[in-house]
Amino acid sequence: MYIVKCNGFVDSVTASKDKAGLQLKKIKLTHMIYSGFEIKKVGGTFPFYIIEREKGNFEFTPSLKNVSKAVKTIKRSTDADPNEWNGDPMTIYVVEKEYVCKTPGLDRMGELKHAHVDNSFLDAFDKGGIENALEMYA
């Protein structure tokens, strides 16, 4: 797998180094100021998971076990308002097939299937594991 990433977001996930390189060229052509974009090679196949703990801090894995381990590190929010989150932020992106941003160099990660790990997600995780929680919330 080849990830085209920037400081703060993932632009594409492909199985082809050539496709990743082509996307990087498109980014260079459309952005006068080119910085922070790189191609990262990671192991695995689809489905593929991106764990974002803080904005732009990514872990890449093809393993649901690794996603499950990451979720187990999250502390529940103790805020009285369930829409507020004072716990450890985490977003899990599920990349089921090749993803290439249609607008090279812009953060469009919200188009990917994803789940914000909050207390409701953690409840589903506790009841049925990571597959259950992702099925309900991603």
Can you tell me the distance from the alpha carbon of 86 to that of 79, in angstroms, rounded to the nearest whole number?
6
Sheet strands side by side (includes 91-95)? 57-61, 48-54, 91-95, 113-116
pLDDT on residue 95 = 96
Maximum distance among all alpha carbons in the chain? 49
Mean pLDDT, all residues of the chain: 88
**Band of pLDDT at residue 89, cut at 50, 70 and 90:** confident
| DSSP label of 76 | P
- Mean pLDDT across 92-112: 93
Can you tell me the distance from the alpha carbon of 111 to that of 114, in angstroms, rounded to the nearest whole number?
8
Higher pLDDT, 27 or 66: 66
Give the pLDDT confidence of 63-78 residue by residue, as tens digits.
Answer: 999 999 999 998 887 7
pLDDT at 92 over 90: yes
